[in-house]
Chains A and B, each alone.
Chain A
């Protein structure tokens, strides 16, 4: 993370990439079109960053507006990410 996330443009939400999620994508944050069903988040991110799901997302914690969320499986009902929301991908850091 080299800076805090810029405010997402109209019709978008911002997504923050912590620790190894940032190294994998090569960025700290980006803006994605909103609204987006939370259940579609991982497949949307996998399209943008091939390999992201298996290597990082499946073992990460996900928050929306700083609140922990359970990401529903593809096709399941679930919350929808809205314009202006801030999503965070938080992989476990294990070293010390």
Chain B
């Protein structure tokens, strides 16, 4: 074990040294004329005397393919070069978005993330690598980006964005990309962008779905996240990628589209339009805002819905009347966790309606007549399960209509069981199992108390901790 730890430490140290070397190299390259390919470059020293072109020489080579695209041009490249862009989140969205923005030559690219790289990130978070597992995501991403384009400036903010640090970080940039994974950060980022007049490109992805929308653009005119979703989803319905899953290219395509929207915005120069600037007395600069919906499995995978402008009386942007949130309020009195709600553990069953994993293990060992229902979704069940358990996903309980045939709920039906044989329910950690057990009771399957119906306390996680540590996935 010591050997493994030592090797990990040594790798981390060398990664840090490499990163430092890359940075030094980038700085040296920026100052010295290029001698690549053995060409004599002394006569064309970028930025030096005699150099009369607006971009440096190496930039014409690096960015030529995009600059010659119709309507992109030199001015588009200059806009990109002079821009400072912040990506909040260096995960499934942030990695591809950052790669394309760095490749395109954004002058300063900032990354905010307080997490470290995990092996389970690698199937989609393409800037990280197996060798950098355990490293802070921002440092791992910057190491990758330095390799891609060492000629631009990177800023790594190894922290989560909070109401307290948001102003200090976001105010350093012209444009923000929301690449985060939770409603709390989505509302915070939108609010700070409204307050600091920064346009915001917001994308998200889950399982096989994605959404993309450009908010607060131009600043003070376009709708904010609260205009679109004034009410957060109930906390129990918020499932992360760790539990619900995500297909790599689904989040990848959303991150790439996010980079595209950012590049479009920068090339047009929308990020420099001042808040409430007189737009020639007309309102025509507020473009129709659309939200792109991506449904990877559908016959028509891309749809765009037309949004309205700002919402009247919006809590953050005021919907036009100017009154609204202030920076001081955001820092001192806004509680995003409370606003989005806290996911309390379910308490639907009394203690006597719940059995421990040790008790269930004994019941199974003694081969007492019973049925064990595992209410996780079938993809989870397939990965690992308790021997003898029957899979009935929780969605079949919640989707069941009143009066539907109960016997169809489990294979073979409940009728094959002795009328007093207990029914135990298990799930991942012990929340859905209570919901399912409660429903079975409400539907009368406990035969007025003749049959015990209850759940296994702590679910598969407790089973792994207490009975079978070999379970490969919870």
The answer to whether A and B assemble together is yes
Closest A residue to B251 using CB positions: A96
| Complex Cα spacing A18 to B293, Å | 8
- Nearest B residue to A18 via CB reads B293
Known contacts A49-B399, A93-B210; decide if A54 and B234 are in contact (CB<8 Å). yes
How many residues belonging to A are interface residues under a CB distance threshold of 8 Å? 33
Chain B, Cβ-Cβ closest to A92: B229
Instruction: Find chain A residues with CB under 8 A from B395 CB.
Output: 23-24, 26
A3-B299, A59-B233 given; A94·B308 CB < 8 A: no
B211 & A59 in contact (Cβ 8 Å cutoff): no
Residue of A nearest to B182 (CB): A94
Contact with A along B168-190 (1 / 0, CB 8 A): 00000000000111110010000
B23 to chain A, nearest CB (A): 28
User: In the complex, what distance in Å separates the CA atom of A67 from the CA atom of B207?
Assistant: 25
- Contacts A18-B209, A51-B398, A63-B305; A96 near B204 (Cβ below 8 A): yes
Q: Are A95 and B211 in contact (CB under 8 A)?
A: no
Instruction: Evaluate whether A3 and B210 lie within 8 angstroms (CB atoms) in the complex, with A56-B237, A66-B305, A95-B240 already known.
Output: no
In the complex, the answer to whether B246 meets A94 with C-beta atoms within 8 Å is: no
Per DSSP, chain A at the interface is loop
Stretch of B51-59, B86-94, B155-163, B262-270 at the chain-chain interface: B86-94
Across the interface, name the chain B residue whose C-beta is closest to A25: B399
Q: Would you call B203 an interface residue if the criterion is a C-beta within 8 Å of the partner chain's C-beta atoms?
A: yes
Known: A94-B186, A94-B233. A66 touches B298 (CB 8 A): no
* CB-nearest residue of chain A to B308: A68
Q: Which of chain B's residues has its CB closest to A91's CB?
A: B233
B209 → A minimal CB distance (Å): 4
Q: Which residues of chain A are near B203, meaning CB under 8 Å?
A: 96
Contact partner of A96 (CB less than 8 A), chosen from B180, B228, B231, is B180
Residue of B nearest to A69 (CB): B308
A18 to B240, CA, bound (A): 17
Question: Can you list 15 residue pairs at the A/B interface with Cβ under 8 Å?
Answer: A1-B208, A1-B298, A2-B298, A3-B298, A20-B237, A24-B395, A50-B402, A66-B304, A92-B186, A93-B206, A95-B181, A95-B204, A95-B240, A96-B241, A96-B255
Residues of B with Cβ closer than 8 Å to A?
89, 91-94, 179-183, 186, 203-211, 228-229, 231-234, 236-241, 244, 246, 251, 254-255, 291, 293, 295, 297-300, 303-308, 395, 398-399, 401-402
Q: Shortest 7 CB-CB distances between A and B: which pairs? A: A1-B298, A1-B295, A96-B93, A93-B204, A95-B206, A19-B209, A59-B233
